[in-house]
Chains A and B, each alone.
Chain A
Amino acid sequence: MHLVVLVKQVPDPTGERRLDAGDATVDRAGADAVVDPLDLHALEAALTLREVSGGTVTALTVGPPRAAGALRQALATGADRAVHVSDPALHGACAPQTSAVLAAALRRVGFDLVLCGAASSDGQLGVMAALLGERLGVPHLSGLRTLALADMRGADTRGAGTRGAGTTVTGERQTEDGWWELAAELPAVVSTHVLPGPPRRRTVAGIRAAQHRPVTTLTLADLGIDPATVGLAAATSRVVSAGRPARTPGRTGDPAELVRFLADRALV
C-alpha cells in the first residue's frame, strides 16, 4: 500500500495574511510558515492506515525551496520518504496548474491512495482532491471526517501484503444537514477534514530518524512539464485588482440599542 500525503506550507493561519502588492499572489515571505493544519490530519490518517495495512507513506509538496521544511516536519512525524517539486517557474501557479504538476509527480512516484487536507488555510479553494481525481482519472472523496480501507468482501485489510487494487476506501463526510457515507475503489484521492482526535506530533526521536530518510527533489523538467505552461504568466485566470474591503469601526450599546441597530438594517 503506497500512501502519498500532500503537504502544503502556508503562512501561519493564526497570523496576519495578505496578498503581495506586486502580483496579487499570497505573500509567503512576509509570514511565518507552517504545515497547513488540515494536512497534518491527512498525514495522521495515512500513518494510521499504515499501522493497519502496512505499506509506505510518502510526503509530497510543490513549493519554493523553503517548503522543504514542511517535508522535514512530515518525515519527523513518521512519513517514510519525501518528494519536493520545486522550480522557479512555479511562482504564481493557479490551482489547475498546481494540480497538473502534482498529478505528474504522483504518476512518477506511484500511489494507491493520495491524501490531503480538505482545504488549505491560505487559498481555501478546497478543490485539490477533485482536480487531482480529474487529472489522474481516479475517483475522489473529499472532506472526510473518518477514513477506512476494506477489501472487496468488506473485511479489514490487515496484513502487510495488501495492494491497492481490489481495496475500497470508505469514509464519512459531514454535510450541512447531516452526513454522507461514501466509498470508492483504489486507486483514489481523498481529502480529510478534522479527524477524531488530534494528529500526532513529531518527536525528538522522529526528528533524528528523519535525517536519514530520503528527500527527492524534482524540477518541472524532471516531470516532463514545459515551464512555459505553468506559473503566473500562463495561469488560467488573472487577477485584475485586489484590495481590502473597508470596514467602519463598530460601536457598542445595550440590548435595546442593538435591536434598534438591527431594525434600521432590516435584520429583525
Chain B
Amino acid sequence: MRSSEAAGAAEVLVLAELTGAGEPTRATLEALTGARVLGDPVAVVLGAPGAAAGAVAELARFGAGRVLAGESAALDAHLVGPRVDVLARLVADRSPAAVVVPAGAEGREVAARLAVRTGSGFLTDVVGFAPDGTATQLALGGTTVVRARVTTGTPVHAWRASSLTPVPAPVTTVVEQVPVELSTTAREARVVRRVAGPTAGRPALTEAPVVVAVGRGVTSAAEFAAVEELADVLGAAIGASRAAVDAGFCPPSCLVGQSGARVSPRLYVAVGISGAAQHWSGVRSAQTVVAVNSDPTAPVFALADFGVVGEVVTVVPALTAQITAARG
C-alpha cells in the first residue's frame, strides 16, 4: 500500500469537516488519529476564503503535517460536487495511499462520488485501520464487525463518527493552497439556504459524546423536562424513538433508528425506551448503554450495560442529582 517515494510513508488524504465555528469536527480528529496507521495524514480543508486559517492549529495537533487549503465561496453554495472535484484532482496529482472522509452530512456522499470518479472501491462506517490497509467497519446497524479491504484504485473510506477517542500527535505543519476549479456538474445541486434548527445549544445528535433518548415511557411534559435537565448535566444531545416524536415531545430531527439518525456516542441513556429493533438499529454502536424503564421485562434491559427499573418521574431527577453530587 505504501508508495516507494523518497519522502517515506505515503500520504493519506483526510478531508477536514468544520464546525459552524470553523474548528475541525471531532470526527475529523478521529479520522486523523485513525489515518496515521496507514501513512502520513494530509488534511484537506475546503471552504469559504479564510476557512483553513481557523483549523490549521488543531489539525496539526492531531498529526496533519500538511494542510491543503482549497478556498472558494462556491464550495458551500453547492452540495458534494465541488468537494469531489477538488479531491479527485488531489488524488490524481498526489497518488495518496488512501482517502478518509468523515461521514457527516455530506461526507458519505463525497466518498461515494469520489470513489466512482476515481475508479476506486470505498468502504463506509469505517471505525479503524490496520497497517496492512484493511479497515474495520460496523455493518448491519453495528451488530456485525467486518474487516474489509478495498481492492480497486485508491481506497476511499467514510469514517464513522465517535469510533475512537482522538489522540493528539503534534507536528509542525505546512499550509499549501490548492486550486478550486469546478466542473459544471459540480454546480448543479444548489444549497438555497441553510437554516439553524431548534437544537441549538445542545451538541449535534450524531456528534454528541452522550445521547439521552426518550421513548414511549415518557408521557408528560414534566417527565420530558426532567430528561432535558439530565441531558444538560451530561452535556448530551436529545434523541427519541418514533413514539416520542409522534407524541410531540421531540422534533423528527431527534429521531434515532431505522428511519432517523444512527448514533455512536460513548454513552447512550435510554429513558422509557422499550428497545424495539427499529430504534435499536440506530443505537448499536454506542459504547455504553444504560436504560431507565418502568417495565422490568422491557427488551432494552437485555441490550443495556446497566439498567434501572423504575418510574421516569422519580429515577431521572435522582440521577441528575446524584451525578451533580458525584462531581462535587
Contacts and interface: CB of A to CB of B under 8 A. Distances in A.
Among B116, B185, B261, B319, max chain A CB count under 10 A is at: B116
A15 B318 CA distance: 36
Interface string B148-168: 111111010000000000000
B306 A94 contact: no
Interface of A: 13-15, 17-19, 24, 26, 37-38, 94-96, 99, 121-122, 124-127, 129-131, 133-135, 137-142, 145, 170, 174-185, 188, 193-194, 235-245, 248-259, 261-263, 265, 267-268
B278 A13 contact: yes
A11 to B, nearest CB: 9
A95 B112 CA distance: 9
A38 B301 CA distance: 28
Interface string B181-219: 000010011111111110110001111001000000000
A193 B80 CA distance: 18
The 8 A-B residue pairs whose C-beta atoms are closest, nearest first, are A236-B121, A178-B197, A139-B188, A176-B204, A127-B112, A130-B109, A139-B189, A236-B152
B273 to A, nearest CB: 14
Interface of B: 20, 79-81, 84, 104-105, 108-109, 111-113, 115-117, 120-125, 134, 139-141, 143-153, 155, 185, 188-197, 199-200, 204-207, 210, 234, 252-253, 255, 258-262, 266-267, 276-278, 281, 288-291, 301-310, 315, 318-319, 322-323, 326-327
Contact of A194 (B123, B200, B259): B259
Given A13-B281, A135-B116, A140-B80, A37 B259 contact: yes
A171 B309 CA distance: 43
B190 A175 contact: no
A268 B306 contact: no
| From A24, A96, A137, A188, residue with most partner B Cβ within 10 Å | A96
A125 B139 CA distance: 9
Given A180-B195, A268-B234, 7 more contacts: A141-B189, A174-B253, A179-B195, A238-B148, A238-B149, A253-B306, A253-B307
A96 B116 contact: yes
Residues of A contacting B: mostly: mixed
Interface of chain B: mostly helix, strand, loop or mixed: mixed
Of listed A175, A182, A244, A256, residue having the most chain B CB within 10 A: A175
A134 B188 contact: no
Contacts, number: 244
Given A139-B185, A179-B197, A242-B144, A258 B191 contact: no
In this complex, which of A122, A182, A243, A250 has the most chain B Cβ atoms within 10 angstroms of its Cβ?
A250
Nearest to B291: A250
A37 B258 contact: yes
B96 to A, nearest CB: 17
A261 B200 CA distance: 30
A238 B151 contact: yes
B79 A253 contact: no
In this complex, the member of A18, A236, A238 whose beta carbon has the largest number of chain B beta carbons within 10 angstroms is A236
* A133, A137, A235 interface centre (most CB from chain B within 10 Å): A133
A252 B113 contact: no
B109 A127 contact: yes
A24 B276 CA distance: 25
B207 A127 contact: no
A250 B323 CA distance: 21
A62 B7 CA distance: 46
Contact of B116 (A134, A254, A258): A134
A181 B191 contact: yes
B80 A130 contact: yes
Contacts of A140: 80, 109, 189
Contact of B281 (A121, A135, A251, A253): A121
B120 A236 contact: yes
B48 to A, nearest CB: 16
B308 A258 contact: yes
A116 to B, nearest CB: 13
A237 B151 CA distance: 5
